[in-house]
Structure 1
Amino acid sequence: MGSFPCLHSLTEVLFFFFSSSDYFRLTTMSLRIIVVLAVLTGVTGSLSVTIRPVADSVDAAHPNSVPETVEETEFFGQAELLEEEEAEEDVMATGELNPNHYPAQRAAKVVQHYLNTRYGSPYRVFGLKRVHSGNAEDVADSRRKYQLEISVQEMIGNTTENCSAEVLFSRGEQQRSAQVQASCEALLKIDTKAQEEEFYQQYKMNQSLQSAQHLPDSYGHIEPDMKPLWHLGIVASSFIMLNESTENTLYNMAQVANVTQLPTENDQLKFDYHILLHEMVSQEIIHWKLLFTWSPAEGVKVLQMEQLPHCHDCEKSPNTN
């Protein structure tokens, strides 16, 4: 074979092997590189290679990091599942929060549910667009207060406004629902009275009560005339998510498995919904029964919320919002 030329770097070694095809073949390359490195080590004393990791964004690598915008996790039935990389999370931060990490995102998501319970309708649905800043502090009575600056989007009209909000979580064995205050005056001025009244009259005068299943379907599709029922399901499910949310949860509405219109009572449209919620932390799909009424004047009034037993045979929807 002959002697090797004097090679002074690892790069030259590799170049030599790749360029000397008359003497070496790919199948024996690895073994011969080892031999050369051993020779070089004996000549020069040592050969060390330092591999430095490529710098990356802290937020992208953090197990509590989440997408920032509605576009990255679309609201109506197309959101990707947010999977945590670690089973255990960091201890809740105090003081200024990273807007992209779970503590701030969870508190902001509760504001979304609050706005839907107060102001939502079949033609007005609110979604979290972005968290701009957040601050957390422990307060009296084992409670924890989050102060947030966020962007909220009215999804149907595609209108986005900045909002200031405060979320107060309770702690301990008997946790109460989160208390929320939010200032989003511009969003609340959106006028949907005409559409709501038309929907109300149409369903109030129905001779045959409406029903539907799988909104959206497994392809993420919803028939146009069923979208108000889907929107109404989002609004009504926010009552559940607001009631169930803690610092350790992150809920999204996944699907309306079934909806049935019931006879109108006291000028209120009445509905029976079977809702699938996606709890992002545990990755569970949770089934709930919702019985509620709605009218343009009164909004959603929940009559019954019941968590259903885990359904092993039920189809799990990949879509969340």
Structure 2
Amino acid sequence: MLTGKLNPNHYPAQRAAQVVVHYLNTRHGSPYWRLGLHKVHNATAEEVGESGRKYILKISLQDWISNTKDSCTAEVVFPGGNAEGPPQVTASYEGNLKNTRAEEEALYNQYNTSLNLLSGHDIPDSYGHVDPEMKPFWHLGSVASSFIMLNESREDTLYNMAQVVNVTQLETLNNQLRFNYDVLLHEMVSQEIIHWKVLATWSPEEGVKALQMEKLPQCDHCKPPQNH
């Protein structure tokens, strides 16, 4: 692996930057706030002995919902040797977190009191379309998937979420809305489509949490929708 200054457009820099996206989504994401990578501006890599390999990044991130773009500086350390576990991330996000409290509380109250539990599938559909009423749950599924992708990320991977195959709302527990998600993750380096199940909870107070994550058997017929 290269050290020193990296080409911002090449895989090593892009992979480390995508880890930062997953990290921030797991900490701040919601049905109304979800980050994506806009651009890597500067990237360097250095060996840090047995601790692994450190990437130092200057990137810009895009809120997929409001389409705003803000800067972020970050360090990503991938474990070295035979060490296991997710990369360690420190990040300074220079944008203001969007105030979506009113929208979140309205959504929470609607689905916390509904007699009919939510269910949906194929989000987006095969043409890349997401019904407006399902967009918050598409974003929620993407944020929940960031927990998986952060945990699974290594120096030779590059993950994106491709599709929510199914989402089913469960009964509210401890004031948390609960959802079973089946999701397809696209590993861009190998081009493998990986099927995962995740039990996610959410409330405006507690944010999104992934309580259980399970990799499902390989799905030979699975493919990402267009324009994902």
TM-score by length of 2: 0.97
Contact kept, 8 Å, 2:6 with 2:13, in 1: the verdict is: yes
1:109-188 map, 5 Å: 109-188=18-97
CA distance in 1 between partners of 2:129 and 2:227 (Å) = 13
Q: In the alignment, residue 197 of structure 1 is paired with which amino acid?
A: E
- Which residue of 2 is the match for residue 303 of structure 1? 211
- Which residue of 2 is the match for residue 227 of structure 1? 135
Contact kept, 8 Å, 2:128 with 2:227, in 1: the verdict is: no
Q: 1:207 aligns with which of 115, 118, 128?
A: 115
CA distance in 1 between partners of 2:52 and 2:197 (Å) = 30
Rg bigger for which structure?
1
1:142 offset after TM fit, Å? Answer: 4.2
1:320 offset after TM fit, Å? Answer: 6.5
- How many positions carry a matched residue from both structures? 228
Contact kept, 8 Å, 1:103 with 1:247, in 2: the verdict is: yes
1:67-78 map, 5 Å: none
CA distance in 1 between partners of 2:23 and 2:56 (Å) = 15
Q: Alpha carbons of 1:208 and 1:113: their partners in 2 closer, same or farther (altered >3 Å)?
A: same
- Which residue of 2 is the match for residue 51 of structure 1? none
Q: Which runs of 5+ in 1 are unaligned?
A: 1-91
CA distance in 2 between partners of 1:294 and 1:136 (Å) = 36
Contact kept, 8 Å, 1:291 with 1:304, in 2: the verdict is: yes
Contact kept, 8 Å, 1:255 with 1:276, in 2: the verdict is: yes
Q: Which runs of 5+ in 2 are unaligned?
A: none
Contact kept, 8 Å, 2:163 with 2:225, in 1: the verdict is: no
1:185 offset after TM fit, Å? Answer: 3.6
Report the 3-state secondary structure (helix = DSSP H, G, I; strand = E; otherwise coil) of the residue aligned with 1:141. helix
CA distance in 2 between partners of 1:301 and 1:180 (Å) = 18
Contact kept, 8 Å, 2:167 with 2:181, in 1: the verdict is: yes
Report the 3-state secondary structure (helix = DSSP H, G, I; strand = E; otherwise coil) of the residue aligned with 2:145. helix
CA distance in 1 between partners of 2:78 and 2:226 (Å) = 28
Report the 3-state secondary structure (helix = DSSP H, G, I; strand = E; otherwise coil) of the residue aligned with 2:95. helix
Q: Which has the higher strand share?
A: 2
1:161 offset after TM fit, Å? Answer: 0.8
Report the 3-state secondary structure (helix = DSSP H, G, I; strand = E; otherwise coil) of the residue aligned with 2:50. coil
Percent identity between matched residues is: 63
1:1-321 map, 5 Å: 92-188=1-97, 190-312=98-220, 314-319=221-226, 321=228
Contact kept, 8 Å, 2:58 with 2:74, in 1: the verdict is: yes
Contact kept, 8 Å, 2:193 with 2:222, in 1: the verdict is: no
1:220 offset after TM fit, Å? Answer: 0.7
Q: In the alignment, residue 218 of structure 2 is paired with which amino acid?
A: H
1:303 offset after TM fit, Å? Answer: 1.2
TM-score by length of 1: 0.69
CA distance in 2 between partners of 1:284 and 1:140 (Å) = 31
CA distance in 2 between partners of 1:103 and 1:285 (Å) = 21
- For CA contacts below 8 A with separation 6 or more, give which structure has more relative contact order: 2
Contact kept, 8 Å, 1:160 with 1:187, in 2: the verdict is: no
